[in-house]
């Protein structure tokens, strides 16, 4: 049941979700399987369901979704383990870092369960959100790597 791997920019580590010890949490390890350690803190008696990690292009933090009722998008610093909540309205999932390391695409639903989900871009610094899609049930966005001109 271990899922959702995301690799560090240098390709030496990965972050993933595992349902241990009790609820889904995020862990990091070296790609050779050594150095397993928890990334997100577990607080006894407090429900915390964390999944969908994406390692930032800067290598400094991981974005993920956490469920406390509705899912919301958070980040956690890899050095200090400080968590920051980035969204708080509606349901927000599936964070994916842009190559610039500042913006994330997310799946967002502002209405009730069953309402449309759309892709939005979130500016991590300002909190500004821009809606990209509006035509249906969009999910699981991703960014292409930076493209270089062929001429």
The string of pLDDT tens digits covering residues 72-86 is 999 999 999 999 999
- pLDDT for 114: 73
Residue 82, CB-side half-sphere exposure with 13 Å CA sphere? 3
The radius of gyration of the chain's CA atoms, rounded to the nearest angstrom, is 16
The residue that leads in pLDDT, 144 or 8, is: 8
What pTM was computed for the model? 0.90
- What's the CA gap between 19 and 4, in Å, rounded? 12
- What's the CA gap between 2 and 53, in Å, rounded? 12
pLDDT-derived band of residue 104, with 50, 70 and 90 as boundaries?
very high
Find out whether 145 and 99 touch, Cβ atoms under 8 Å.
yes
pLDDT at 43 over 80: no
For residue 24, give every residue at least 6 positions away whose Cβ sits within 8 Å of its Cβ, in sequence order, or none.
17, 18, 49, 50, 51
């Amino acid at each position: 049941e271990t899922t959702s791997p995301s690799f560090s920019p240098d390709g030496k580590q990965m972050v993933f979700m595992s349902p241990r010890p009790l609820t889904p949490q995020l862990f990091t390890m070296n790609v050779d399987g050594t150095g397993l350690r928890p990334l997100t803190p577990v607080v006894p008696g407090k429900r915390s369901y964390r999944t969908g990690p994406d390692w930032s292009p800067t290598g400094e933090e991981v974005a993920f979704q956490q469920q406390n009722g509705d899912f919301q998008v958070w980040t956690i610093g890899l050095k200090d383990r400080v968590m920051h909540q980035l969204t708080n309205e509606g349901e927000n999932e599936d964070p994916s870092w842009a190559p610039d390391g500042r913006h994330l695409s997310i799946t967002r639903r502002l209405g009730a369960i069953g309402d449309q989900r759309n892709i939005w871009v979130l500016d991590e610094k300002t909190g500004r959100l821009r809606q990209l899609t509006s035509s249906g049930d969009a999910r699981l966005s991703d960014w292409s790597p930076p493209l270089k001109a062929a001429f």
